[in-house]
Structure 1
Amino acid sequence: MSIILEETPPTKSNSYITKLKLPQVTLRSTIVGLLIGSIILISNFQFGLQTGWVSMMSLPAALLGFAIFRLTPMSKNFTDVENVYIQSIAVAVGTGPLCYGFIGIIPAIEKFLNADETGLGHKIFFSTKELIIWSMGLGLFGVFFAIPLRRQVIIKEKLPFPSGSATATLISVLHGTEIYDDEDDTKEDPEEDEDDLNKSVLQRQTSSSQLLESINYNSNMRSLTATFIISSIYTIASFFLPVLKKIPIFGTWASNNYEWNIQPSPAYMGQGIIMGLPTVSYMLFGAVLGWAILAPLSKFMNWAPGPIDDWISGGQGWILWISLSIMVSDSLVSFIVLSIKSIRDLVKDYKKRKASYTQVLELQQRQREYNLQHPDEEQSDETVVVPINAAVEVPANFLISNKVAIIGTIGSTILCVITLKIIFGKLIPLYASLTAILLAMLFSVLATRTLGVSDINPVSGIGKLSQLIFAFIIPSNHPSKILINLISGGVAEAGAQQAGDLMQDLKTGHLIGASPKAQFIAQIIGTVYSVFLSSIMYKVYMKVYTIPSDTFRIPTAIIWVDCSRLVTGEGLPPKAMEFAMFFGVIFGLISLLKNTLDSTSKYYKYLVYLPNGVAVGIGIYNTPNFTLARFIGGLIAYNWHKISDKGRIGMIIFSSGLVLGEGLFSGVTMLLTSLGVKHW
């Protein structure tokens, strides 16, 4: 008898395997996914350029996909796995503005980078063709090197990915099917042939839980439609009545001198609902700290004597450095702690494997000793397989192979280097491009793990960490050090964004029973389409609107360029360094506590009262009118169970209608602006 060690995953159930074989990559679902993704992309452009906030919108994408098919004869054979494919494409398209830097890096270079900071002696402006080349270089490598992470974070560690799990729950309710979890899906179904199983899967989606499906679908669609209409009406009304964007609820003096207004935007309230009360409370704390205390102090002490809303000489520009310090400090501490935890988990996994191997070696030695002691006994030819770390997995023909992942990663890396060379020529050294991509790979692991646990993809913090690292890599006398710093951060952010998006979608597919290969195809199709649409939409926004302006402040772009100047040693306004260091230390310690204390500590329940540094930083660099509306949304979320009998999914659908209405109808106001329609 021989004993071998093998990682042997349990076999999936027959119904799960059958569902994997159902048609998923279809022309109709691809078209619908691209259409929904386009709507989300326009919405993300609108709010990204205004406040720096974008959303994956996976839940409304799944609901809209189901609604479109329900209204057509195709609904009879529309499956839940095809719905997963639709939302995967839509998310890949919709997050393009953030992934390709169109709300941060690109406007930072075009609008705020000085001629002497480019290394060329003149400012840089991108053509549509150059934007497409840039986006193609950034859009693919994050998808490929995220492939190997799936087995670790979804199959082995079973990280929850809250939004991905919620999307799977919504899809299962709409279609009347089941959620597969790793504890139950290894149980074999009663023996049925494949044709019967195919019929069974389809029948469950049309008849099983039909009443539940009808109630939830109709209720959610009414909610989505009503909030969409309300938000759309506000968008058109605020175009003709700009006063609706700045209501001086604290008086005209506070409004004129310190920007204390409220913009009762349904979309901002919807964003606040999605963020939740703790996050928007931290943002409100940041708004009070920045706009009611620090900005007035800087003006009173003559550290920032200009108008309060001036980015250069006013209080807004002065408190921006405090915001940067807080966010960089929080991100750096979080990264260090999470990296240590990840390494610790990997070491534990290695020790378990080593112990299993040791166990097998001991069994083999005992068997040999027994054979020597009993030479006359007939030796068995049986092979005993000892499984280790068994994890439920789908058959290999439904997965993307490691070979594809390796070739794709190498190919997309080369593509990224080439595109950067085409756009920037000799300004970007080869070692800088390769280092940025390597950092992106490292940070993508952190991003997916953080997203899996907290439902937050820390891409903004990752970008700033990359900028901080490159401040030590690029010589201080390099003429393009600011430009290189910006680009390196953009590459890292793109990789983390793509990896996180794909992993959350894969979690949804894993719970529903969709093919990971189909979802990978969806990500590739959505990414390539988004490359072109995002580039075109950016040029449209820049042509139609005056940017930056009171409406489109592009705060993320200002954060990017000022962070580059900060880490590369540029001078700060008077006393800004002292305040930045003080608050950086304070929020670094807070981040350390929030990331090290776990639920076993008796102080864990009090951590919610300690503000999150990134949220506080956002509250500081955005004007109060944005934050106040989000805080109202957070209060609605907190009291949701009192004002509605719908659960968390219903709440997210409600808020998504508010966001999508204003986002989509921003296209109408864009048309009105381009036609020269006057405000009242």
Structure 2
Amino acid sequence: MDNKNEFKPFIPADKIVPEFTVTSVVLGLILAVVFGAANAYLGLRVGMTVSASIPAAVISMGVIRVIMKKDSILENNMVQTIGSAGESLAAGAIFTLPAIFMWAAEGKTNEPGFFSIAIVALCGGILGVLFMIPLRTALIVEEHGTLPYPEGTACAEVLLAGEEGGEKSKVVFAGLGISAVYKFIADGLKLFPSEVNFDIYAKNYTCGVGLDVLPALAGVGYICGLKISSYMFAGGILSYLVLIPAISFFGGDALSSVTDTAGNAIPFNQLDPSSIWGSYNRYIGAGAVAAGGIISLIKTFPTMVRTFAKAIKGFGKHMDTNERTQVDISLRTVLIGVVIVAVVMWLVPAIPISPVGAVIVVIFGFFFATVSSRMVGIVGSSNNPVSGMAIATLIITTFVFKAAGMTGVQGMVGAITVGTVICIIAAIAGDTSQDLKCGYIVGATPKLQQIGEILGAVVAAFAIGGVMYLLNAAWGFGSEMIPAPQASLMKMVVEGVMGGTLPWTLIFMGVFIAIAVEVLGIPVLAFAIGLYLPIHLSAPIFVGGLIKWFMEEKRKYDNEEQKRHCVESGVLYSAGMIAGEGIVGIILAIVAVFNLNIDISGIYGDSFATVGNWVGIIAFVLLLATLFYFCRKKKAQ
């Protein structure tokens, strides 16, 4: 079946409409910065990011169609293409680079400069786009009827629906505005604590429960759905209600590795839940996440091999046509670009990569770009095992560097830098695939999309460099506010391989928990992330998943169209909530850097923790009520 001849895009190849315009480029670049910053904040806080393609498309429709009164689906598509580059580049950068800041805080090395962060992110972003370009025909066109590319197809449907009007953008902006105000009141004015916590102390053990009453977490849960969020919450339950009391109980009066302010060891049964989590559960969770990433990689390895072989077979295959909808950036330009980036990584002093490291980046980068591009076509970008690819890369790279004599902090920083570039390549290649799929359906010009993707990556690289510097200056990576869970895990992996400093007993406990979960047929990565993260993060995500489940399964609708409208409105509102909290999170980081105090929590006096907890719960319930409101049934026309 020759799909490329049968399929007809929405805008025919022989029709020329506005696409790569000043409006679409400027708006796209703004959204690349906004969603890149928001996702950087979200990823550093909870260890996961969300797709920005659909929110960017919806906002574009609101601006271009409603405000500017223009009618151009290809301009909207260009906006989401450029805008989504910021989100995917952020995902790759925040999973790894904060590890170097953590080493700097420990006095082992110097903090990476702004230029270093930006140029590393830039190299990864450009390579991710370049590696995907020659694969477009093989993966997007030739397999149009085989690879669904869920986010790309969904985004195309939103754009096509947008031809009816830009009303959906109002829902996104409502979520953004309400979330921003809520976040400012909670974490800016501190009228109530954003973390509600209840520690439980018994005679021989301790445990604790709690949740962060924040809009982004509920939004993530709604977008992910009940299945994924419940697996995460199950991991949190095991961590906080099983492992913490078990460690406290069986440790008893024995002295732990945790010390008080005077340097005296504290008995296990006198430790608070957060101390047990930080000193013991965290390593168990790290072992589970590492094992989960490797298990996912092993399970998908046959698919990776077939994917790589099939994609290579079609590498550089260009259709013998001059049709607008089939024109890519030339293969010659791609190859020259790859060589230039490789040389830059080798020669620029700001990037601590040796010639061997540059070669590893190109080889592993192209392999994982190929794998990522095809895998997101099957399972979607949200399920793309980028962290598993990063772990595999870090293990191999660290061993190679160690064997080549690059040991200690120099080798570890080099390994993390290589891992960062690979991580960004995989994330950007997957995003580019989804965007090109969307463009293929609506009738966009691939070459212009590819240029737009590179522009988005360039701007986002410098923006994310600034955001990471800002967040680290405000709170410090690895802190309670910005735990940077994925980067902490990568740091542990590199340290463990290079220096053998990990508490391997705890690590292997997590490994075997992950294996047991896999044997039971439960998606191990989602469970492991819940085990690794504080329950305060997985609990509100689970609440958001419950709301999505209620909307999809329990609420009564007149027809399927009404159901689709309600569920989709919830997704758009949730995306707005995530963006709103992320933006205010960045603003509050600026406030913290300049030591501006806007805290008014003193109105409660000494009872803030007790009274504030209940105020926080009430505020969170009211916030969830707004989500229900925007999921209300559509009035009959």
* Range into which the TM-score falls when normalised by the shorter chain: 0.7 to 0.9
Aligned to 1:364: none
Give 1:150 shift: 1.6
> 2:59 matched to 1:58?
no
Alignment of 1:90-489 (within 5 A): 90-99=83-92, 101=93, 103-112=94-103, 122-158=108-144, 159-175=147-163, 213-214=164-165, 217-218=166-167, 220-239=168-187, 240-241=189-190, 243-248=192-197, 258-302=207-251, 305-306=257-258, 314-344=276-306, 398-419=327-348, 421-424=349-352, 428-455=353-380, 456-475=383-402, 478-479=407-408, 480-489=410-419
Answer whether contact 2:296 2:385 (CA < 8 A) is retained. no
Contiguous gaps of at least 5 residues in structure 2: 260-270, 602-637
Instruction: Give the residue type in structure 2 aligned to 1:430.
Output: P
CA 569–391 in structure 1, closer or farther in 2 if over 3 Å, else same: farther
> 2:525 matched to 1:614?
yes
Aligned to 1:571: 501
Contiguous gaps of at least 5 residues in structure 1: 1-6, 117-121, 176-212, 354-387, 591-609
Alignment of 1:489-528 (within 5 A): 489-528=419-458
Answer whether contact 1:299 1:315 (CA < 8 A) is retained. no
How far apart in 2 are the matches of 1:41 and 1:617? Answer: 26
Query: SS state of the match for residue 241, structure 1?
Result: coil
Query: SS state of the match for residue 306, structure 1?
Result: strand
Aligned to 1:550: 480
Identical aligned residues as a percent:
23
Aligned residue among 69, 75, 86 for 1:75: 69
Query: SS state of the match for residue 474, structure 1?
Result: helix
Answer whether contact 1:41 1:534 (CA < 8 A) is retained. yes
Aligned to 1:84: 77
Give 1:111 shift: 1.6
Give 1:20 shift: 5.9
- Cα deviation per residue 1:168-225 (whole Å; 9 max; x = unaligned)? 00000111xxxxxxxxxxxxxxxxxxxxxxxxxxxxxxxxxxxxx24xx43x244334
Answer whether contact 1:52 1:556 (CA < 8 A) is retained. yes
Aligned to 2:36: 41
Instruction: Give the residue type in structure 2 aligned to 1:670.
Output: A
> 2:18 matched to 1:27?
no
How far apart in 2 are the matches of 1:565 and 1:242? Answer: 41
Answer whether contact 1:164 1:507 (CA < 8 A) is retained. yes
> 2:574 matched to 1:655?
yes
Instruction: Give the residue type in structure 2 aligned to 1:110.
Output: F
Answer whether contact 1:20 1:515 (CA < 8 A) is retained. no
Answer whether contact 2:59 2:172 (CA < 8 A) is retained. no
How far apart in 1 are the matches of 2:547 and 2:3? Answer: 48
Give 1:516 shift: 0.7
Give 1:297 shift: 2.8
How far apart in 2 are the matches of 1:671 and 1:63? Answer: 28
Aligned to 1:678: 599
Give 1:530 shift: 1.2
Answer whether contact 1:259 1:624 (CA < 8 A) is retained. no
Answer whether contact 1:12 1:394 (CA < 8 A) is retained. no
How far apart in 2 are the matches of 1:222 and 1:646? Answer: 19
Answer whether contact 1:166 1:649 (CA < 8 A) is retained. no
Give 1:499 shift: 0.5
- Cα deviation per residue 1:95-140 (whole Å; 9 max; x = unaligned)? 33323x2x24332112236879xxxxx4221222333333333221
Answer whether contact 1:105 1:490 (CA < 8 A) is retained. yes
Aligned to 2:588: 669
**Under a length normalisation based on structure 2, what TM-score does the superposition of the two structures give?**
0.80
How far apart in 1 are the matches of 2:312 and 2:109? Answer: 51
How far apart in 1 are the matches of 2:437 and 2:597? Answer: 46
CA RMSD of the aligned region, Å? 3.4
Answer whether contact 2:325 2:446 (CA < 8 A) is retained. no
Query: SS state of the match for residue 514, structure 1?
Result: coil
Aligned residue among 631, 644, 656 for 2:542: 631
Give 1:553 shift: 1.8
Answer whether contact 1:398 1:517 (CA < 8 A) is retained. yes
Give 1:397 shift: 6.4
How far apart in 1 are the matches of 2:473 and 2:312? Answer: 55
Query: SS state of the match for residue 148, structure 1?
Result: helix
